[in-house]
Chains A and B, each alone.
Chain A
Amino acid sequence: MTKFNIKLLVLSFLLLISLRPLQSAEMVDPIKVDWSFKGLTGTFDRASLQRGFQVYKEVCASCHSMQYLSYRNLGEPGGPEFSEQEVKAIAASFEIEDGPDSQGEMFTRPGKPSDKFKSPYPNTQAATAANGGAYPPDMSVLVKARKGGANYIYSVLVGYEDPPPGVTLDDGVYYNKYMAGNKIKMPNNLMDGLVEYADGTESSVDQMAKDVTTFLAWAAEPELEERHRTGVKVIIYLVLLTTLVYLSMKKIWSRIDTEV
């Protein structure tokens, strides 16, 4: 029996190794941030989500689309939870192309909560052309689309440095400690005091990076809070049911001489 257990240990150890994510040589491990949405019962920080949306709107949105989000999402439970009026006002601040109307013409109108987030460019090609040949990725699921998730996004935002001696950069290429290959075509857009937070929070680079990353984490997983809540209930229910079934099993098997 002991021998068998040792084998099991070796096996589980190997399994763990095999599940360890791939490490690339030239990349520095992203900074580990103690996000409020981590863990089994993690939730988003509402105020941070609202500030993060502000950073997105005033800074990121000039190049990055978020095409899978609708303005109404901003008011839904588990998100930034802007009030209905605020959501309507945010939506109305964008001019959305609609149509064709009965004459077959396209027209623009103020946005409605049901509209998707307006993209800064009409298509991928236009976005790529306007950004020196590098497409600014859609940010709807960006946190899920990068190894390291929120930690990685935050690290890149605060990871701009002067290139080390010997590294020469082309025009429009920047040095970033955490980016794969250390070269990034997105300039360092954050500087202290760049946005004026509505809630009076000091807008340091670190604060803005954290807020916008929180916002992006929510955008990628808007179901996270409900998922965590439901998960805890489901596990509790299953553990109770398992206990009951275990006791029933013991009782049933006690009718015969065999251990179960």
Chain B
Amino acid sequence: MSEHEYVPKSKAGKWFNDRLPLLTLGAHLTDYPTPKNLNYWWTFGGILTFCLITQIVTGIVLAMHYVAHADLAFASVEHIMRDVNYGWLIRYIHSNGASMFFLAVYIHIFRSLFYGSYKSPREVIWIIGLMIYLLMMAAAFMGYVLPWGQMSFWGATVITNLFSAIPLVGESITTWLWGAYSVDNPTLNRFFSLHYLIPFLILGLVVLHIWALHVPGNNNPVGIDIKKPSKDTVPFHPYITIKDAFALLVFMIIFAGFVFFTPNVLGHSDNYIPANPLVTPAHIVPEWYLLPFYAILRSVPDKLGGVILMFGAIFILFVLPWLDTSKVRSAVFRPIYRQFYWIFVLDVLMLGYVGAMPAEGIYLVLARVGTIYYFAHFIIVMPVVGLIEKTDPIPMSISEPVLTGGAEPSLARKVNDKV
């Protein structure tokens, strides 16, 4: 928040701003004091906003040509690919856009985990972010069902069947979700409706996410509170906008590489086979971004247990700010947590890998070990390491020497190099 209250220069501007302070909001967003040491891992917020807008715009156009009917959906997608002007481009941007969206959101989340951005006073930003992530998974899952290919159909069957694990009312809930006695036309219709709705819910949450961010301001790689504005901050525009723009363009190059040169590599070839309730694919696998959770689900021999663990794997993130007992935010100054952080990253990647493999033999063992470690990271490592770890000296400000361990400028420089 800027120190000086913004006053529009023109009379008309002042008249309007007194009635709806949109110009004040604009000035706030422009001046918003941002830590000057943000690295490129901090550019993914802007990239994610771009992803959301891209999905909404391409999605609205696709919805003009798509037909949500079990007998027509597959053909209507082919119609989009063949007969609609640049339909192939719009659809490939949308389908690859989902993957790019998740790639960006995972980097965003893991950045937060590394630099402790979920910790006080930013818990609400974190929780809203997780709600966005949950809705993203719901939207992506339902979107994958819409082309009504084999993976659409069988993925929907597997996921909706999870609810039948709920004791007593499970079967009824599943039937209610389907709108039929199996995944069928009514299921496709409601999935389309919800798939169109959810992005706008996400958009609303994004506004709250940014609003909540602008209260305490950005965390930063050093993880310390900074005075705002000060010589440690820069105005959002032009410093951060140009940096975000640069990062976004690099991201778009990768995005374009997928769309134009390998548009189907992230999808499953079975989804170009029309849905057939009588033929089960050899391996039913979700899209890559859901694989770690799929591995957790299948690691438990009991269906209800698997479902509980899978949802637990996400919901445990909601209480993370209170599981982490460390006073220090950034892992840069946490030598022990930093090692566990990378082990955790490897663990999630391994879970993703075994999620794509058949649930048997060594893969099942790996899935179980990975699942146990996943939870142990949050339930044991986070609270215990926070209590016993001796953290490195922390600088007093982004540009000043460290508080503890003497005031040698050399040490401060070393710290800055690390960041």
Contact = CB atoms under 8 A, between A and B. Distances in A.
B412 interface: no
B352 interface: yes
Contacts of B282: 24, 180
A256 interface: yes
Interface string B245-283: 110011011001101110111000110111000000011
Contacts of B260: 227-228, 230-232, 234-235
Interface stretch (A51-59, A86-94, A139-147): A139-147
Nearest to A13: B349
B88 interface: yes
Contact of B37 (A19, A147, A252, A258): A258
A256 B353 CA distance: 44
Nearest to B258: A231
Nearest to B260: A231
B238 interface: yes
Nearest to B268: A147
Interface stretch (B20-28, B74-82, B311-319): B74-82
B246 A22 contact: no
A242 interface: yes
Interface residues of B, number: 50
Contacts of B357: 22
B349 A260 contact: no
A253 B75 CA distance: 52
A249 B238 CA distance: 9
Contacts of B340: none
A128 B263 CA distance: 32
A223 B346 CA distance: 39
Contacts of B288: 18-19
B345 interface: yes
A222 interface: yes
Interface in B88-110: 88-89, 92
B36 interface: yes
Output the residue of B82, B88, B92, B283 with the most chain A CB within 10 A. B82
Given A230-B89, A258-B37, A260-B243, A140 B78 contact: yes
Contacts of B36: 256, 258
Contact of B246 (A144, A223, A232, A246): A246
B343 to A, nearest CB: 11
Interface in B306-356: 342, 345-346, 349-350, 352-353, 356
B88 A249 contact: no
A249 B252 CA distance: 17
A137 B81 contact: no
B369 to A, nearest CB: 15
A238 interface: yes
A234 to B, nearest CB: 5
A47 interface: no
A242 B246 contact: yes
B211 interface: no
B37 A234 contact: no
Interface string B53-75: 00000000000000000000001
B207 interface: no
B387 interface: no
Given A17-B353, A140-B78, 5 more contacts: A10-B346, A24-B282, A68-B79, A242-B250, A245-B245
27 contacts: A10-B346, A11-B346, A14-B346, A14-B349, A14-B350, A17-B353, A18-B356, A68-B75, A73-B82, A145-B270, A145-B272, A180-B282, A220-B272, A222-B82, A223-B81, A227-B92, A230-B89, A231-B260, A231-B261, A235-B257, A245-B249, A246-B246, A249-B246, A252-B238, A252-B239, A256-B234, A257-B399
